[in-house]
Homo-oligomer: A and B are copies of this chain.
């Protein structure tokens, strides 16, 4: 099922009519930022965090968002009313606008799409398999639309019977294209600190208090991951997802780990608190 409407510059268009002119700088120069959040029972989750990151991403690219947070919130509400999809993913894209010469920045275009989405709880038990790839995302702290490497590598991921990629820079672990990475080793749960996107789910988990465990933002290498007991990734779509295999080798015993399950439950509790 698709959403009925897509919002472009705060105007609702029927999904099939949501088009933009090819002079837009996203098409011409891959120039844009976005953010993505989910709604549960009609409530946008952690919307303040996502808005803050969205405005910060725009600022880092020297794009002025032509709307206040209130405008943005209203645009999202209008779209949600039109679509009536209480459980969904909301994607807010801001492009460089229609450029007369295909290069100079113009008045930004704001595109908001909504997709029906509900977390499949059984996916947690299946976990995921990653392959590693040496790549440092440019402007890593900025949620740009640049997924050149991730899309390009789709055939490789498929060929390796994996689910996604784990980027590293010369062995230093970074992140997945759309998720942050965590590893569990003894009593320490750690996630890379440097040159990554600051995921909202990651930031929530870094604030957890888990009895007997330290939760740290600190860099580590692929070699460290080889000796990890557990690994998992986090994102707004996946919440917490166990990583059972990397480059064909099991992580720990290759089964969903107890600490990963604990973090998943803790995150679920947080969501329930937010929903209450």
Seen from chain A, the residues whose Cβ lies within 8 Å of a Cβ on chain B are 6, 8, 16, 18-22, 24-32, 60-62, 91, 93, 95-96, 101-105, 111, 113, 115, 135, 138-139, 144-155, 178
- Chain B neighbourhood of A147, CB < 8 A: 29-31, 103
Q: Are A151 and B8 in contact (CB under 8 A)?
A: no
Q: A19-B22, A27-B111 are in contact. List 15 more A-B contacts (CB 8 A).
A: A8-B22, A18-B21, A22-B113, A26-B26, A27-B95, A29-B147, A30-B30, A30-B32, A61-B151, A62-B152, A91-B102, A102-B115, A135-B138, A138-B148, A138-B149
Q: How far is the CA of A62 from the CA of B153 in the complex (A)?
A: 8
The residue in A30, A32, A62, A95 that gathers the most chain B C-beta atoms within 10 A of its C-beta is A30
- Chain B neighbourhood of A103, CB < 8 A: 147, 151, 178
Q: Which of B8, B25, B27, B144 contacts A20 (CB 8 A)?
A: B27
- Chain B neighbourhood of A30, CB < 8 A: 26, 30-32, 144-148
Name A17's closest neighbour in chain B (CB-CB): B21
Shortest CB-to-CB span from A105 to chain B, Å, is 6
Shortest CB-to-CB span from A173 to chain B, Å, is 19
